Structure formats: structure tokens, C-alpha cells
């Protein structure tokens, strides 16, 4: 997904959006008999042209695009969109989002059209507009706005419980489900991909809603028992218990009681996953902390940092827990846990502290 800290698009959000081919007919209709305008049109025209060709739809060639960046070079001397807008007194809202940058470019064009009084110049550009024919825009899938893409339709528990049957009888503690739940909650985050994995496993195992509640309660009790093992509940442990309790749908009264009373639990619910010297860790994605610094810290603790995921890999650390990178896909195939940077910090704390 590239530098997500800049563009802010997560893999989970991208997975909720339609593919380009599904919206291409509508894009073609919007651009037909128009003059496309972009800031750095050379890049955008090639990028969009390639995608439209993949969808077997025509689009204006790059020399039929008007570039506000080229115009800006002769007016303000700047090239970057934010610098050009600043020089013209244009405020960029939601920078690096498609809508925000496009709107800023449109405002910039408006300023140039008002300042360049040569109407023949603009007519000459309008004359380059090409007509490619009619497009079946009705066949397009409605595209999804960034806000809609980030909205989770259902919580983890809603998705899980909604997929299960309550007709079966029994409250068996399923250790397979518990083991997967333990890997999922290593970093205290249940990603969209992890939610799907839990839903699929629960369905495959034929678990009932009651069985899920039993497993979640057993996991929570085990976590609380481990937290109280030294007879002290730290602020971090309390925060984790509250967060996990909320994720797992544990009754608030049970969570509150765990804050003041040690809870006994079966050994099988104790968290077994820990990093140790010699373990193989793989990093993927553009993370907040520079890769070199992570490698140095991990190596100093005896952790082996590799570039590729193998079956012996202990952990994959990803900037995005729903990463679609090759490393993340391979990790899911091998059953290797994927955690965020925050999750790695917590696991390293168990080694050092």
C-alpha cells in the first residue's frame, strides 16, 4: 500500500472498494469529450491510461491533457501542489486524498483561467477534446468514498455471532479457536482479515454462539490470571484487560471484577506466545519507525530479522495488519501471526522486562 502514513489508505479500506474495472465505464463517460486536467498530468495520464487499457476502454492521450504543474512553473516557479496552491492563496483540504487534491487543482485552474486573458488559448485546449463514443455507465459499480471505505459495517463480535447458529446444544471449549484467538490478539487489534479468519474457523468447526462466549470468557479469565500472577495489576495490564474485554464482548461487571480480584484459569488459556532469542521475525510495509532502527533493536535482543517468510518464521510485523503484501499472504498461508508495530513493542517488552 506504499506510504500509508501519508495517503492514509488502509488495506482494509481498499478491500471494501470496487476494483477499477468495475468503475471504469463511469470514468470513461465522465472523461469523454472533455479535456482532462491534472497536476503532473504526465504521471496521471499514463497511470490512468494503463488502467483504462486493462479495462479495454479508450481515454485521451497524454498530449490532450492540461497540466497545472507545467503552468505553475512559468507563473510561480513551483512544482509541488501544496507549494503552488500556497503561492496562489489556495487552501488544500485533505491533502493526498483524491478528492482533496483534485479540488485544489480545480481551484488552481480557475485562478489561471481568470489571470490568462487570452481566450484563444483556452479555446485551443477545448478544441482538443475527443469523443470516443457511448459507454455503458450503468454497468459500473458505484464507487466508494474514503469515509465509507473506513466505516466498519459490523464489529468483530457482530460479524462473528451473526455467522453462527444457536440451534446446537453445548458449550465445549474449543482449543483450536482459542489458539487462533490468542494469535489474533497478540497486538490487541482484531483486523478485518483476522476477523474473517476467526469467522471462517468458527463456522468450519460448527461452533455455536454459546461456545464462542465460553471461549472468549476462558481467554479473558486466562489473561486476567496472568496479569495477576505477580499479585500486582499495572496500568498497562488494566488497559489491556479493558480493551480485550470490550473486543470479546465480555460483560462489563466481569471486567470490573477482574480489576480488583485475581482470577484462576486453566493452563490452556495462558498466553503461550513469546519472542525469544533465535526467533525469526519479518518486517513488511512502510512503518513509522525506520526499518534500520527496528533491525538494530531486534538484532540486539538476539532476534533474527529475515526478508522472506518461511515456515519457521515466528512473527511478521506489518505497518498495516490487513496488508496484502506477498509477505503477509505467505504468513497467513503458514499460520504465522501478523502484528502491528505496537504489538511488537509489547512483545519485546516481555523479553526485556
Q: What distance in Å separates the CA atoms of residue 248 and residue 274, rounded to the nearest whole number?
A: 22
pLDDT category at 35 given cuts 50, 70, 90 is very high
pLDDT category at 306 given cuts 50, 70, 90 is very high
The pLDDT value recorded for residue 125 is 92
The pLDDT value recorded for residue 167 is 45
Q: What distance in Å separates the CA atoms of residue 263 and residue 180, rounded to the nearest whole number?
A: 22
The pLDDT value recorded for residue 166 is 52
In this prediction the pTM is 0.58
The pLDDT value recorded for residue 314 is 93
Q: Which of 350, 329, 216, 224 is nearest to 282 (CA)?
A: 329
pLDDT category at 151 given cuts 50, 70, 90 is low
The pLDDT value recorded for residue 351 is 65
Q: Which of 214, 231, 193 is nearest to 320 (CA)?
A: 193
Q: What distance in Å separates the CA atoms of residue 201 and residue 183, rounded to the nearest whole number?
A: 13
**CATH code for 18-139?**
3.30.420.10
pLDDT at residue 44 is higher than 80: yes
**CATH code for 280-352?**
3.40.50.10190
Matching residue, cell 455507465: 137
Instruction: Locate 327 and state its grid cell.
Output: 509477505
The pLDDT value recorded for residue 304 is 95
Question: DSSP state, 267?
Answer: G
Average pLDDT over residues 269-291: 82
Question: DSSP state, 151?
Answer: S
The pLDDT value recorded for residue 311 is 93
pLDDT at residue 150 is higher than 70: no
For residues 68-83, one letter each, b for 16 or more C-beta atoms within 10 angstroms of the residue's C-beta and e for the rest, the string is bbebbeebeebeebee
For residues 4-30, one letter each, b for 16 or more C-beta atoms within 10 angstroms of the residue's C-beta and e for the rest, the string is beeeebbbbbeeebeeeeebbbbbbbe
Cα-Cα-Cα-Cα dihedral sign, residues 198, 204, 210, 215: negative
pLDDT at residue 101 is higher than 70: yes
Q: Locate the DSSP E strands across the chain.
A: 37-38, 66-67, 280-284, 304-306, 313-318, 338-339
pLDDT at residue 13 is higher than 80: no
Q: Can you say whether residue 308 is alpha, beta or left, with left for phi > 0 and alpha for psi between -120 and 50 degrees?
A: beta
Domain locations in the chain as residue ranges: 18-139, 156-269, 280-352
Question: DSSP state, 72?
Answer: H
Q: What distance in Å separates the CA atoms of residue 242 and residue 252, rounded to the nearest whole number?
A: 9
The pLDDT value recorded for residue 38 is 95
Average pLDDT over residues 141-169: 62
Amino acid at each position: 500500500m506504499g506510504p500509508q502514513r501519508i495517503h492514509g489508505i488502509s488495506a482494509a479500506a481498499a478491500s471494501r472498494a470496487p476494483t477499477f474495472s468495475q468503475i471504469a465505464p463511469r470514468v470513461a463517460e465522465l472523461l469523454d469529450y472533455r479535456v482532462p486536467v491534472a497536476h503532473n498530468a504526465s504521471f496521471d495520464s499514463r497511470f490512468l491510461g494503463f488502467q483504462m487499457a486493462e479495462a479495454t476502454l479508450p481515454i485521451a492521450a497524454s498530449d490532450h491533457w492540461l497540466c497545472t504543474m507545467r503552468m505553475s512553473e512559468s507563473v510561480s516557479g513551483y512544482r509541488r501542489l501544496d507549494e503552488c496552491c500556497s503561492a496562489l492563496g489556495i487552501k488544500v483540504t485533505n491533502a493526498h486524498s483524491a478528492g482533496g487534491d483534485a479540488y485544489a487543482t480545480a481551484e488552481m485552474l480557475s485562478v489561471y483561467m481568470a489571470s490568462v486573458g487570452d481566450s484563444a488559448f483556452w479555446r485551443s485546449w477545448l478544441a482538443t477534446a475527443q469523443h470516443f463514443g457511448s459507454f455503458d455507465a450503468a454497468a459500473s459499480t458505484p464507487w466508494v468514498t474514503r469515509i465509507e471505505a473506513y466505516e466498519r459495517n459490523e464489529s468483530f463480535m457482530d460479524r462473528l455471532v451473526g455467522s453462527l447458529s444457536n440451534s446446537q446444544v453445548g458449550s465445549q471449549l474449543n482449543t483450536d479457536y482459542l489458539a487462533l484467538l490468542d494469535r489474533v490478539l497478540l497486538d490487541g487489534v482484531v483486523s478485518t482479515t483476522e476477523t474473517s479468519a476467526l469467522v471462517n474457523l468458527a463456522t468450519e468447526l460448527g461452533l455455536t454462539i454459546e461456545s464462542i462466549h465460553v471461549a472468549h470468557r476462558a481467554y479473558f479469565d486466562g489473561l486476567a490470571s496472568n496479569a495477576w500472577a505477580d499479585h500486582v495489576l499495572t496500568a498497562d495490564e488494566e488497559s489491556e484487560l479493558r480493551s480485550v474485554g470490550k473486543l470479546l464482548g465480555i460483560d462489563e461487571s466481569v471486567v470490573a471484577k477482574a480489576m480488583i480480584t485475581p482470577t484462576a484459569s486453566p493452563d490452556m488459556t495462558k498466553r503461550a506466545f513469546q519472542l525469544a532469542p533465535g526467533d525469526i521475525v519479518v518486517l513488511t510495509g512502510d512503518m513509522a519507525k525506520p526499518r534500520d532502527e527496528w533491525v538494530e533493536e531486534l538484532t540486539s535482543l538476539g532476534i533474527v530479522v529475515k526478508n522472506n517468510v518461511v515456515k519457521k518464521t515466528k512473527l511478521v510485523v506489518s505497518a498495516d495488519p490487513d496488508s496484502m503484501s506477498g509477505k503477509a499472504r505467505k504468513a497467513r498461508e503458514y499460520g504465522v501471526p501478523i502484528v502491528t508495530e505496537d504489538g511488537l513493542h509489547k512483545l519485546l517488552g516481555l523479553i526485556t522486562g
